Amino acid sequence: MGVIQNVLAVIVVLGLLITFHEYGHFWVARRCGVQVLRFSVGFGKPIWSRVDRHGTEFAVAAIPLGGYVKMLDEREAPVPVDQLDRAFNRKTVWQRIAIVAAGPLANFLLAIVAYWALFVVGTTTVAPVIGDVTPDSPADRGGLRPGQEITAVQGAPVRSWDEINLKLIAAIGVSGELSVDARDDATATSREHRLPVEEWLVRQDPPQPLPSLGVTPWRPPYPAVLGQVVEGEAAAAAGLEPGDEVVAVDGAPVDDWMYFVDTVRASPGEPLELEVLRGGERLRLSITPGRNELEEGVAIGYIGAGVEPVAWPEEYRREIRYGPVAAVGQAVARTGEMTVLTLDAIRKMLVGLISPTNLSGPITIARVAGDTARTGLESFVSFMAYLSISLAVLNLLPIPVLDGGHLLYYFVEVVRGRPVSEQIQAIGLRIGLALVGTLMLMAVYFDLMRLW
């Protein structure tokens, strides 16, 4: 069922992003007087199509991993004399630039709209309060203490752990000090802490900002009460039921859920004796955790059960909401921030600060799309907005075959006063195909390694 959800989620996400991207090209092309022959979502044989009154064929193809807008162009096929004025290659260089740039710009616009909707509806998060600090960690040496609420990272205000993680990831490669502001409680004044770091998160795969900093987020106590039990797994086989509270394992008292989880993970294939409270009655059950192989010689245990959710105290909850007008500025700012973060990540990957194993392909995208869809609409929309920004940024890279490569040729044409020769464009096309093909193969390879 999870695989089906992942596939459906990625089809919805990519379908929407690709449609917006191609519609950007289509809309501007129509305004510039270019004849659009086909607007296709997907590649391969069309499974549905129709032709509008302008002679454009709209199609949905069988392979939902891309799309394209085919325009009238003398470089692709002979054009009747009476239609030459509607050919793409006959338009001015600035019109061609506008048509090509419209696709990525449409993706940026989609991200802005998505973030705007989230800010207007409002998002609820938890205050970034520190639960524990690892001794002799950067956080400990910088003076951070349990119970403090982080209010800024590198001088930028933050309101949630998500925002903190983004700021910390943006600082990858920093040597010296990280600036973190924190306050003792909601009424106290924030104080700056200087956290000593050296080559911060360099080549860490995947980057783990908070553990590397030595910070554990505060969370309310989670009693070991089962919220769900998966059929066919060890918990169900042992007779555990939703609502059961595990109070002891092998005679040792269980204080909270994480203690129970750590015990199970450390006992793959080893029988455990549980004491369980069910309806006021104490039961004794035996359970043998399954074995999940992580790598050669390393395994963790699992039983197929989840914890009963616990409500967060009201003083730890934060709601982020803006009016329709104020939300526009916030959405544009968030889109700009994520764009800069994406460009910076590409730069750091090229210079070796970020491991290329962090590249993600369609398998990882499908998994994350499915996970966020199951988490809730807010997470799904936020993921879609970030993916839309990533698609726009990647398309604007100056690589032939991508929109950015075409824009590079057109800007050279503006400077030189004449088009780049077809021979040079053909060479660039081969180089671009090789680069993009290599990146796609690497992304799929790293996807498969994560699954393995």
Q: Annotated catalytic sites, by residue?
A: 22
Would you tell me how many other CB atoms lie within 10 Å of the CB of residue 241?
A: 12
The dihedral sign for the CA sequence 247, 250, 253, 259: negative
| Beta-ladder partners of 49 | 59
Q: Is 181 exposed, middle or buried (0-12, 13-18, 19+ CB in 10 A)?
A: buried
Angle CA 329–333–337, to nearest 5? 175
Rounded CA separation 393/373 (Å):
24
C-alpha 69 chain-centroid distance: 27
> Whose CA is closest to 395, among 103, 71, 64?
103
Q: Residue 379: which H helix or E strand, with range? A: helix 377-395
User: Which DSSP category does 35 fall into?
Assistant: P
Contact 198, 162 (CB under 8 A): no
SS3 label, residue 41: strand
3-state helix, strand, coil in the chain (%, to 5): 45, 25, 30
Place of tokens 């989670």: 222
Contact 192, 179 (CB under 8 A): yes
Contact 388, 382 (CB under 8 A): no
Spell out the residues 6+ positions from residue 88 whose beta carbon is closer than 8 angstroms to its own. Answer: 29, 34, 71, 72, 73, 96, 99
**Distance of CA 229 to CAs 264, 272, 370, 419, Å?**
15, 17, 21, 65
Rounded CA separation 452/297 (Å):
15
